[in-house]
Amino acid sequence: MAYAVTFDRIGGPEVLNYHAVEVGQPGPGQVRLRHVAVGLNYADTYFRNGTYPIPLPNGMGVEAAGVVEAIGEGVSNVAVGDRVTYTGFINTLGAYSTERLIPAAPLIKLPDAIPFETAAGMTMRGLTSAYLMRRIYDFKPGQTILLHAAAGGVGLIVSQWAKLLGLNVIGTVSTEEKAAVAHAHGCDHTINYSHEDIAKRVREITGGVGVDVVIDSVGKNTFIASLDSLRRRGLMVCVGTASGTIDGFNPNLLAQKGSLYLTRPALADYIADPIEKAQLASEIFDHIATNRIQIEINQRYALQDAVQAHRDLEARKTIGSSIFVI
């Protein structure tokens, strides 16, 4: 019997429902996939709370790794028995499941050197880190970035990748425990935003200059501090809104604070081209297989504990990556 987590209304973690489901045979362009591990991402909460509107009822989760059990007509990119991973957006919703039908197009063949649990803990985060480090900005050795949520799943990967590129990394964290983790993964400096002024500390660390790029997944609570931390003509990369959306933004603010640049990228637009997706996936897989980048999976849940998992996410109790083990 297969099981899945679905929801039929927006709300808090309590709207998630774990139950038995029927999984049929794959249609044209589809595969039936048996999951081994499923990714738990903060973005999952955006579907659940209505930040990302979707038709209801619907499945939950967009990332998982497993084994292809059957293929439908016209599928040529994978075969029965292949180890695969995937991430996406609405096209892959339904990952919180033991088995499922899914379009074959988003699937990425998993190298033998990458375990299923590692894949589930890094496919979305790894591809996000890949486009942040390799597509958003032409980084040069010696430049400095401010990385919010530095002890989170994306933060730990980005900080390690940044050091490979010769960058200086200032990371924000909420606790001393998370500061220690961030330092261990490449942060040169940490700022505890629970009691330190972010922009003031950045100016102190950079000798008043500011950073070249801010990578901000927090949103509302850090937006102004992020802009105030940038050097003249610096780049603000808003990759999430964990603390809430940014309302009433006036573009004139960018001019007032130093002719700044602002972008709000989405992973879907960096993996829409299969060739580019393969390039980004190959680069992050290679870094992991050779231990240049290590994936920290510090929280493992059973699928039936999805409600608690979401509560932990939103309470900032997690460090690094989190997964469901099937």
Question: Strand, helix or coil at 262?
Answer: strand
C-alpha span between 111 and 113 (Å, rounded): 5
pLDDT of amino acid 198: 97
Residues 14 and 86 in one domain: yes
pLDDT digits (tens, 9 = 90+) for 10-27: 999 999 999 999 999 999
pLDDT digits (tens, 9 = 90+) for 153-212: 899 999 999 999 999 999 999 999 999 999 999 999 999 998 999 999 999 999 999 999
Residues 148 and 256 in one domain: yes
pLDDT of amino acid 169: 98
pLDDT of amino acid 38: 98
Count of domains in the chain? Answer: 2
8 Å CB contact between 31 and 107? yes
pLDDT of amino acid 286: 97
Residues 200 and 296 in one domain: no
Averaged pLDDT for residues 47-56: 95
CATH of the domain at 205: 3.40.50.720
- Residue 300: pLDDT band (50, 70, 90) is very high
Residues 104 and 180 in one domain: no
- Residue 249: pLDDT band (50, 70, 90) is confident
- Residue 184: which domain range? 137-264
Residues 62 and 181 in one domain: no
Residue 116 lies in a domain: yes
Instruction: Give yes or no for residue 7 having a pLDDT over 90.
Output: yes
Residues 116 and 159 in one domain: no
Instruction: Give yes or no for residue 240 having a pLDDT over 80.
Output: yes
Residues 237 and 288 in one domain: no
Residue 25 lies in a domain: yes
* Average pLDDT over the chain, rounded to an integer: 95
Q: Helix crossing, 274-289 with 116-134: angle to 10°?
A: 110
CA distances from 78 to 19, 31, 81, 273 (A): 29, 9, 9, 17
pLDDT digits (tens, 9 = 90+) for 254-282: 999 999 999 999 998 999 999 999 999 99
Q: Which two tokens stand for residue 255?
A: 């001019």
Residue 130 lies in a domain: no
How many CA atoms does the CB half-sphere of 138 hold within 13 Å? 0
Residues 251 and 211 in one domain: yes
pLDDT of amino acid 246: 82
Instruction: Give yes or no for residue 241 having a pLDDT over 80.
Output: no
Residues 93 and 20 in one domain: yes
- Residue 326: pLDDT band (50, 70, 90) is very high
Residue 129 lies in a domain: no
Residue 243 lies in a domain: yes
Question: Strand, helix or coil at 74?
Answer: coil
High-pLDDT (> 90) share of the chain, %? 90
High-pLDDT (> 70) share of the chain, %? 100
Residues 118 and 148 in one domain: no
CATH of the domain at 104: 3.90.180.10
